Structure formats: structure tokens, C-alpha cells
Structure 1
Amino acid sequence: MPADLAVIGLGHLGLPLAQAAVAAGLSTLGYRTGPEAGSLTAAELRRMLSRGFRPTSNPAELGRVRTAVICAPAQRGPDGTMDLGQVEAAARTLAERLRPHTTVILESPVPPGTTERFLRPLLEKGSGLRAGRDFHLAYSPSRVDPGNRDFGAANTPKVIGGLTPACTESAATFYGRLTDKVVRARGPREAETVQVLETNYRQVNIALVNEMAVLCHDLGVDLWDVIRCAETKPFGFQAFRPGPGTGGHAVPQDLAGLTSRTLRMVELAQQVNNHMPQYVVQRAATLLNEHGKSARGARVLLLGVTYKPDLADQQGSPAHEIALRLMQLGASVSYHDPHVPAWSVLDRPIPRADSLYEAAADADLTILLQQHRTYDLQGLSVKAQLLLDTRGATPTGAAHRL
């Protein structure tokens, strides 16, 4: 049966897109490209299925859609370059079934030039069709923010950059059914670079405030009060907050290999942010020592091991490195997370606390890594022997803050 849309890649990008499309009344296929994990709940998936969403493992069905959006994951490889293996596999699978007049859009986070230099040749060679003449080709950076209750698909503007003006308009027509506003970029490279800028903007600003956290602790200054005051400025400032690490699926890009000029600030920001788990462990060991205890043999409870609050997604969560470093110091580590029923670090199962308050009272140190809504932080600050808050979420004076 023909469909309006095929979403290729059902991970953290593809599933929310499919969800928005189904909600807008589009008949939607979902084609899995690998062992992907999305951020939708079981109830949300059931609702999508009841509205006509059709997951499929049959690649032949990709040849019966009007629009195909590639959302395959693209991550950094061991050498630091982008691994486009799943994007390539998705393109080859689609190319063999591609029909004339289909609109193909790439949403995977890729370096500038990927749509034209990498994706286009794969699609043209596999299909025998020509992009811009026989089918439409465009790029649109995904702006998915899992768990965001204020901004979703409908009220988040979509940036579109097509290979030709006609490609841009075809993609804009599709996204116009999902969102209130479509923004047209000059071309695919500009749209791809929007994704680079937005991702690096987050990385650099988090790095700045993380460095401020370390500085303010050394100076005896309350950073959280500094941020509270600074964010009252109505222009020229956007508040970011420090934490134990960045996490998430967005891969910061310094564009090494694409040009002789690298983004040095992004490279430095990554170094700062990658150091935060180690800094948290240093603060933990110091706190224990100040209270007459050694990290070796200490009972440490980690609260919240996901990368975002109120979600089960653990992609890039700093909790893994923090737990590992604590265990290397000889600490006995346990965890609590309402969204994670079982957790392992380097294939070593970490004990899960069943009773949160009892576990906090029993632990020598409790570290808040993620601020889930279900946590009563006032109650935890009373129960915990020693509480390190890496999110600035506890009441002032109730815990040691990052």
C-alpha cells in the first residue's frame, strides 16, 4: 500500500519525526537501519500504531512512498571522524527502490557537503535517476529535543536546503504539513552547517559555564546565584547551567578534514566538557575526605544515570565514566533511576537501590547526576548523609553544589 512518508532509521531522530507525521495525518512507514534506540515511551508507540504507523522490514515498500527521510545515526568513529556507515546503508537500500518524483531528505547530523558529495552519488548510481531532475533531494537539520514540553515538531521551525529551488520547495511542502514555519536555506551545505552551528553553540556555552563552575568553587563564589542574576539581563545573554558532562546524541564537529581551518573553540570546549566527570569524582573524594572518610570502601549512591531528565536515554551520559572512576578509587557504587531498571558499566552490573530514601540514608555520599521530576530533593537533602548536587537543583544550602 502506498504511503506518504518513509522514515528510514527509527532512533532518536526518526521516531519523533514519524510521530509528528502520524499526528498530522500522514500515512507513515518506519524502516529500521540498525540497533537503534528511540526516546518514545511504549504508550506513545502504541498510540502511533493505532493511528496507522507501519514499521516494516521489507525494503520493497520504500519504493511506494512520496517522501523518504533518512534519519540513520551518524556518530564519531574511533579516529574522531564521522561514521556514515548507517547513512550509506540507508541510501543504498533506498536507491534500489527509488522512483521518479520522490522527495528524499537527509536529517542525520552530518558534515557540510555530505548531501551533495556523499548521498547524491549513492542515490544516483543505485537508482539510475538524476537528483534535481528525476527526484528531489534536500537536507534538513533535525531539531528534536526529547522531553521538551514547550517545543515540539509543530512549533519548532524547520530549516530546508534543497539541491535546486524545486527541491527546496518540495521539501518545504512536506514539512509544511508538520510545522508552523519553514525556513529556506540557500542550499544543502548551508542547511548542514546550521546543524553544525547549533550543536557547537550548545557545546561551547556549556563548556564556558562548566569552567565557571570550577572557578567559582575555587573562589568560594555561588555560581548558581551568579547565573540567577545574570539571566535577568534582557539582551546579549542566554543562561546555560553546568553539569557532570554533556551527554546526548549531538556530536560536536570541529570540521577537521573538511578544511584547513578547524574550530579551535569547539575542540577546547570538548576538552573542558570531557573533563567534567573527572572533576565530579574529585569533588566527591574531597567531600568524603573532609568528612573523615576515604573514597576507598565508601558507599556512593548515584541518582539519575540518563543524559536528560525524565527520559530513559543513556546516550553519552556522564554517569558511566563517573561510576567507573569511583569504582577505580575503591568505592562501592549503587544507583537509583526511575527510568532505568538495570544498569551496567563495562558489563559489570551496578546494584540498583529499591528504596531511595533508605539508600540515601545508608550511603556515605549521594551524588545527584540527573534531576528527574520524581525526586523530592528537599526530602533527599534531609535523608542523605552527604549530598553532592551537580545540577544546582536542591534548595540553597541543602547540599554541596557543583
Structure 2
Amino acid sequence: MKQKLLNKIANKEIKVGVIGLGYVGLPLAVEKAKAGFKTIGFDIQPQKVEMVNQGRNYIGDVVEGDLKSLVQSEILLATTDFSFIKNVDFVAICVPTPLDEHQQPDISYVEASAKEIAKYLTEETIVVLESTTYPGTTEELLKPILEEGSGLVCGQDFYLGFSPERVDPGNLIYKTKNTPKVVGGIGQDATEVIAAMYRAVLDGEVKEVSCPAVAEMEKILENTYRNVNIGLINELTMLCDRMGINIWEVIDAAKTKPYGFQAFYPGPGLGGHCIPLDPYYLSWKAREYGFHTSMIESSMMINDRMPEYCVMRASKILNRHKKAMGGAQILVLGVAYKQDIDDCRESPALRVIDVLQREGAIVSYYDPWVPKIKTGMESIPELTKDVLGKMDLVLITTAHTNVDYELVQKYAKAIFDTKNVMKDIKARDNIEVL
């Protein structure tokens, strides 16, 4: 089976299926198709399937011209019909893995995908999970579902592995195509075949590891590393505020050291699809082994309370201007979780807005990338001197580059810049940084 599949990969005869056409799945499907592999994208949302089949892009990291060309040439198509899985040789699972209301892993999308695959799984198929999850998911959850549902044997009739997604929306340098990949299969043959498939598509290094659990833990490490370090900086930010020290100047000074230091920055909290979630997956799994990830959990608590801390700081700024939080007009600048993208998943700005409103503030927001948020609130259409002039406070929560910050400084009464995006503005009498 191994050699047959390697030959099919080399000859571009593998038919690819990608389950989940979101921020991870659609770019992957496009790259597979661009490499010459006939690709089918699967999604339960008909509107996404329709847009793909019309060549209309909805993901920032995909070039619409590429998508349209691939669809027109019929090398890429999308469907809600999972029975087409029986026609593919390679299946990548790229579905969400959020947290539930109790901050515990919700792997229902992965489980549902596995059950659909099992219905139509055929011999000599490669299945790869890309969704971020806890160590053990591939072998403890996916493998039994696929074997029981299909009657096939993993390693003998089909290959199974884990290769964590590495997607950084808005990154101008690293995209799906050129980002290094990690692959861990169940068995050496599976690892070799899965790695060969990614090497046939991607330009980045493909790193093989001994098993899926190593690859799963590696992904958790990547993002927990950032969570812990950001937690450290956020805690130092609170201390520096009490001491009257500018944390941003401290970091700029520290990063002149050419070794042993990497700069992380404070902010109103953590957002996105990985960093705020992955530590919860690890701490949840660790409890199965009677182990408490104390350092990780401490950083999570620090980062989780940053929206409330920012509102407290905003209240102090208002007090200095003889204004109470209740009834104050506050403009939140930016609701995306990072600059220059339209992604609001886990955005701390949404928490900031919620806390401000609970404190009685009259909140509006401006984000040139996000016209509407899930609560129904809409962005003001334009930043003008009249809009800025009537605000008691402008609170910057996302460092978008297409905002006229000089205009903001000129007409806002008070500004709380939690991202230090206005660092180059010379007039600073109305600016306070986190």
C-alpha cells in the first residue's frame, strides 16, 4: 500500500478531500489544487460551498483569482455531500475545535467528521487531522471511530495521522504554501506517505515525528509558549503601571539584547483560534494524569482578566476628566483580534465592549475590516472629527494600519491606546498607553 500511494502522489493521481472550508481548510484545498491534485472541499454550510463553486473568496489568505481559475478548470469543487469521500484518496480534517461553555474542549466537529468519513472510507485512503486538539485525539478518538464505522484496519487498510495547521491570518510572509509542516502518523509507513503528500504541495520543510501525540503536543506547545510569555508581559504591565514605568519602553530596551530575549507585548487580552484556546486543551488533558499545569493556568488567568483590567484603566482616565463611566460616550477602535484582518474569533475587544456596556457606558466602535459583530452592533461608517469630538474616550483595542491616528489624536478628548499603535504620534497630551 505504501509504495502504491507514493507512486500516486508522485504522478499527481491522488484525489484530495478537505473537510471544513474555513481559515485552515480553504487555503489548504487551494494549495492542493494548485499543485495539480483534483480536490473536493466539504462543508456543512451551503453558503460557503456555493461561494467556492462560484469562485468567490471569503478568506484573506486566498487569492480570489487563484480560486476562480481552479474552479473554472474543474480541479477544485465544493460540496455538502459527504458521500463523495468514497472518491478521494486523501482526506484532511480542518474543522473548528472550540471550547464549550465550561472552558473544556469541544471536539464534536472532529467526531462528527470522523463518523462521516467512516461511512465512506475505502481501502488505501490517507486520513489526516489538522484541527488543533489535545494529545491523544488521533489515536484515542479518530482511530476507533474510523475502524468501527468502516470495518477497515488502520495501518493495514488505511493510513491515519496528525499534521497541525499553522495558519496566521494576515501574515504577509508566511502562508499555507511556505510554512513548515509537522507530520506524525500511526506507524512509520503512514508518516512517510503523509509527509510525501505535503511535500508534493508545500514549499516549507516537512518535519516527521514519531507519532500523532508528539505532533499534537507540539502544536499545543507552540501556542502555550506564546500564552505564557504574553501572560508574563501582561502581569508586568500591571506592575509597571503602579510603579509609573512605561512597559513599552522597557520592552524596547530589553529587545536590544541580541540573544536570550524575545519580545512579547501586552494588550487587552488574547484572541484568535489558537493562543487563547490551546492551553485549556492541555490543562484539561493533564488532569487525566493527575497533573496540574500551574504556570500555564496562571498565565491563562492573567490574560483572561485583561479586558476587565483595561476597562478599569479606562474608568480612571474618565475620572481624571471628571466623567463617570456610566453614561460616558466611548469609541472602541478595532474589534478584530489582530491588525488588518476581519477575524473576530475570541477577540478581546468584544469582551471589552461587553464589560463597558455592563458598566453603563454608551459604546460604539469603528473597524474598517469588520462592518458588523455578532451582537448586531455595526461599525460607525467613518472616523470624522465630529464623531471623535463627541466621544469622552477613544479606546484602541486593535492596531489596524489603515486608521488615521493623527486625526484621532487631534480631535479626541482622551485616548487609551492598549496596543501602542500611536507610538509615533508626537503630540501625546491626550494619549495614555496600557
Of the three residues 20, 33, 38, the one matched with 1:22 is 33
Residues 164-183 of structure 1 mapped to structure 2, 5 A cutoff:
164-177=187-200, 178-183=202-207
Of the three residues 340, 352, 355, the one matched with 2:379 is 352
CA displacement at 1:89 relative to structure 2: 0.7
* Residue aligning to 2:67: 48
Of the three residues 311, 336, 346, the one matched with 1:281 is 311
* Residue aligning to 1:11: 22
Give 1:310's aligned amino acid: D
CA displacement at 1:3 relative to structure 2: 6.2
Q: Is 1:304 aligned to residue 334 of structure 2?
A: yes
Aligned partners of 2:357, 2:46: CA distance in 1, in Å?
29
Q: Which 5+ residue runs of structure 1 have no aligned equivalent?
A: none
CA distance 1:229–1:275, change in 2 (3 Å)? same
Per-residue displacement from partner, 1:262-284 (whole Å, max 9, x unpaired)? 21111111100010000110011
CA distance 1:361–1:3, change in 2 (3 Å)? farther
* Residue aligning to 2:116: 93
Give 2:23's aligned amino acid: H
Q: Is 1:317 aligned to residue 320 of structure 2?
A: no
**3-state SS of the aligned residue for 2:339?**
coil
* Residue aligning to 1:367: 395
**3-state SS of the aligned residue for 1:7?**
strand
Q: Which 5+ residue runs of structure 2 have no aligned equivalent?
A: 1-12, 49-56
Aligned partners of 2:106, 2:248: CA distance in 1, in Å?
38
Query: Is this contact kept in 2: 1:389–1:401, CA < 8 A?
Result: yes
Residues 69-148 of structure 1 mapped to structure 2, 5 A cutoff:
69-148=92-171
Sequence identity of aligned pairs in percent? 38
* Residue aligning to 2:89: 66
Aligned partners of 1:164, 1:42: CA distance in 2, in Å?
33
Aligned partners of 1:138, 1:4: CA distance in 2, in Å?
17
CA distance 1:3–1:57, change in 2 (3 Å)? farther
Give 2:372's aligned amino acid: A
* Residue aligning to 1:203: 227
TM score, norm. by length of structure 1: 0.94
CA distance 1:401–1:18, change in 2 (3 Å)? same
Give 2:304's aligned amino acid: N
Range with bigger deviation, 48-57 or 218-227: 48-57
Residues 194-273 of structure 1 mapped to structure 2, 5 A cutoff:
194-250=218-274, 251=277, 252=279, 253-254=282-283, 255-273=285-303
Give 1:120's aligned amino acid: K
Give 2:331's aligned amino acid: L
TM score, norm. by length of structure 2: 0.87
CA displacement at 1:155 relative to structure 2: 2.5
Query: Is this contact kept in 1: 2:45–2:80, CA < 8 A?
Result: no
CA displacement at 1:4 relative to structure 2: 2.4
Give 1:193's aligned amino acid: M
CA distance 1:154–1:351, change in 2 (3 Å)? closer
Aligned partners of 2:46, 2:389: CA distance in 1, in Å?
39
CA displacement at 1:40 relative to structure 2: 0.6
Per-residue displacement from partner, 1:17-47 (whole Å, max 9, x unpaired)? 2232233333221101469999714983563
Per-residue displacement from partner, 1:94-138 (whole Å, max 9, x unpaired)? 111111111110011111111011100101111111111111111
Aligned partners of 1:34, 1:81: CA distance in 2, in Å?
25
Range with bigger deviation, 63-72 or 378-387: 378-387
* Residue aligning to 1:293: 323
Aligned partners of 2:421, 2:226: CA distance in 1, in Å?
20
Per-residue displacement from partner, 1:340-369 (whole Å, max 9, x unpaired)? 112354xxx435322313322221100111
Aligned partners of 1:83, 1:36: CA distance in 2, in Å?
24
Range with bigger deviation, 267-276 or 75-84: 75-84
Give 2:236's aligned amino acid: M
Query: Is this contact kept in 1: 2:27–2:62, CA < 8 A?
Result: no
User: What is the root-mean-square deviation in Å for CA atoms of aligned residues?
Assistant: 2.0
Aligned partners of 1:374, 1:339: CA distance in 2, in Å?
9
Q: Is 1:401 aligned to residue 424 of structure 2?
A: no
The structure whose residues are more often helix, as a share, is 2
Runs of 4+ in structure 1 off by over 6 angstroms are 35-39
Q: How many residues align?
A: 398
